[in-house]
A and B are shown apart, each in its own frame.
Chain A
């Protein structure tokens, strides 16, 4: 099934793009709150596209039991979709209560 291979390839490469870009953002952004944004990019688009690409590979055939693998991939995806915003929210809240000041205004000289 060449069509599914091509779709899966496109999804996985797109997901890898988001993962690498999000990681570069986590490394390069100036403070915690901006890094949260880059990390969220990885969790939603990167993980979602990679898992969807993998589920294109496994398919939905009932005879070989491959649909169970697809269901597991979708479960992982749904779980990441629920927990990533909760973890991000808890982190931002803890950082704010931990007296980490967000950078305001001019970003020059704010690079760590």
Chain B
């Protein structure tokens, strides 16, 4: 049962990775990597149950945090050009 879940999530990860490799724009790649990371979290959780070691859930939790922070950091870098500055569009100009 858990192996079926792992295989299904693996199929989804493969499709998302194909989109990340195809592009065509930067945002497609970031989006595909974000969904890839979400599926990785699920895969870690399922593999923990599959191996009978649910302690893997801690790793899944940490991976979810890192995935979110990484996505936001990459997006901010490519939107503003700097990780330290505030976005220029804040404050009514947008």
| Nearest CB on B from A9, distance (A) | 6
| Nearest CB on A from B54, distance (A) | 5
Contact assessment for B78 and A94 in the assembled complex, using a CB-CB cutoff below 8 Å: yes
Interface string of B1-42 (1 = CB under 8 A from A): 100110011011111101100101111101110110011011
| Nearest CB on B from A45, distance (A) | 12
Contact assessment for A98 and B72 in the assembled complex, using a CB-CB cutoff below 8 Å: no
Interface on chain A toward B: helix, strand, loop, or mixed SS?
helix
Binding site for B on A (CB under 8 A): 8-9, 12-13, 15-16, 19-20, 22-24, 26-27, 32, 35-36, 39, 42-43, 46-47, 50-51, 53-54, 57-58, 69, 72-73, 75-76, 79-80, 83-84, 86-87, 90-91, 93-95, 97-98, 100, 112
Contact assessment for A100 and B38 in the assembled complex, using a CB-CB cutoff below 8 Å: no
Which of B15, B27, B35, B58 lies at the interface centre, i.e. has the most chain A CB atoms within 10 A of its CB? B35
When C-beta atoms are compared, the residue in chain A nearest to B20 turns out to be: A26
Given A20-B8, A23-B15, A47-B41, decide whether A75 and B28 contact each other with a Cβ distance below 8 A. no
Contact assessment for B46 and A22 in the assembled complex, using a CB-CB cutoff below 8 Å: no
Contact assessment for B27 and A19 in the assembled complex, using a CB-CB cutoff below 8 Å: no
When C-beta atoms are compared, the residue in chain B nearest to A112 turns out to be: B24
| Nearest CB on B from A19, distance (A) | 4
Among A13, A69, A94, A100, point to the contact of B54 (Cβ < 8 A): A69
* Chain A positions within 8 Å of B19 at CB level: 26-27, 35
Contact assessment for A79 and B11 in the assembled complex, using a CB-CB cutoff below 8 Å: no
* Chain B positions within 8 Å of A36 at CB level: 31
When C-beta atoms are compared, the residue in chain B nearest to A50 turns out to be: B42
